[in-house]
Amino acid sequence: MVPSYSRKAISGWINYPCTVISHMMSENEMGYRGSKSTILYKYVGVKEQRVDGSWCINPNLIIMHLRCTLMGFERNYQIKIPSKQLNTNTKKFSTLHSPPKLNPWFVTGIADSEGTFTIMIDQNIKRTIDWRVQAKFQIGINVRDLELLLQIQQYFNGIGSIGKSGNMIFYSISSVKDLTNIIIPHFEKYSLLTQKAADFMLFKKIVKLMNNKAHLFIEGLHQIINIKASMNIGVSNIVKSKFNNIIPIDRPIINTENIPDPHWITGFVNGEGTFDVKIYRSKNKIGHAVQLRFRIPQHERDTKLIELLIKYFGSGVKEEHTKFPAVTLVIVKFSQITEKIIPFFELYPLIGHKKIDFFDWCKIARLMSDRSHLTYYGLNLIRQIKAGMNKGRK
């Protein structure tokens, strides 16, 4: 359970130094399928993204990304940045600027929120049986958090590649060897807590079949299709039209009983959580009131997980969406925010832009603790901070 803290704990929650770096990248156009909003608001079962082309970052030079970022990834270059340029002073950068390795539970948490386990089956006349099977683990986040994605790649020993599509970047691993030796062992040891764990279990079955070369024979392909039919959004219409005897296997039922580690929460909130501010009309003397809100939305199939989080924090309520299959953990009580939520994320810090939003949220909490939100000056200051948070941050 999260310990309680007095309001004195927020005495230092203001004036956090932070620098915002704009990551401007120009790469080849790529298509992808699915998004988080698709899960919660368009009735699609599980997001499933596809990146058809990608630019790669040399995993051995992972710390040199700052140089690339400041250069805008050389948007006018027709080819990738020359490797000689990246090799300059590698040891110096890795010694002085290498971030600490991510906590493994943090990695699982962000995979629970932003990761996908995907099996792609498409026709390919170059293959013996005219069909190709590809397994892919992928994490997609906003392009402004490139540094976090690089840290995740570093955590997984530099395997995989990073690609960009629109304002999203994707870390992808499709090597059967890497999936077998690195990705699958991680999630076997640090288990997923959402219903995504069921997709992982089915994904693991298919990767095992691929290791045994079953996907190169029609019998093995039939096995894979039956498993794939129970994953994510099932099989494509093309596969359905060509294989009319598909029998989906039973999908595993996930019953998460507890939160195993607080770092999982931080990783999950880094992807799914929001720290926002509501300013609304009031009958007080300045005509407006301020409310801090901490929220975590999920598909309704993970209702039990939301209830576990409420129990873990000892605060909050579960709100059910009236139109869509979604539930949200909501905490708005000021004492719960200052005594539980803020101290928790001070002990287990967020990463990237979500951390900066949290810092701004804490500044507003300090102003409210000092009752500055009841003055015109304080309200205007809160408006300014709010305007630069979340989607308003440039």
Residue 256: is its pLDDT beyond 80?
yes
Q: Which value, to the nearest 10 degrees, does the dihedral of the CA atoms of residues 206, 212, 213, 219 take?
A: -70
Write down the pTM of the prediction. 0.76
Topology annotation, domain 7-20+260-392? Endonuclease I-creI (3.10.28)
CA-CA distances (angstroms) from residue 389 to 172, 288, 374, 394? 29, 19, 21, 9
Query: Across residues 88-115, what is the average pLDDT?
Result: 72
Give the start-end residues of each E strand in the chain: 115-123, 131-142, 161-165, 168-173, 274-281, 288-299, 317-320, 326-331
pLDDT at 40: 39
pLDDT in tens, 263-280: 999 999 999 999 999 999
Q: Yes or no: say if 115 and 201 are a contact pair by the CB < 8 Å rule.
A: no
Per the CB < 8 A criterion, the answer to whether 336 and 322 are in contact is: no
Rounded Cα gap, residues 185 and 278, in angstroms:
43
Maximum Cα–Cα distance for the chain, whole Å? 77
């890497």: which residue's tokens? 178
Residue type, 38: T
pLDDT for position 97: 55
Q: pLDDT by residue (tens digit) across 342-351?
A: 999 999 999 9
pLDDT-derived band at 390 (thresholds 50, 70, 90) equals confident
Name the nearest CA neighbour of 276 among 349, 382, 141: 382
Does the CA dihedral 100-105-111-114 come out positive or negative?
negative
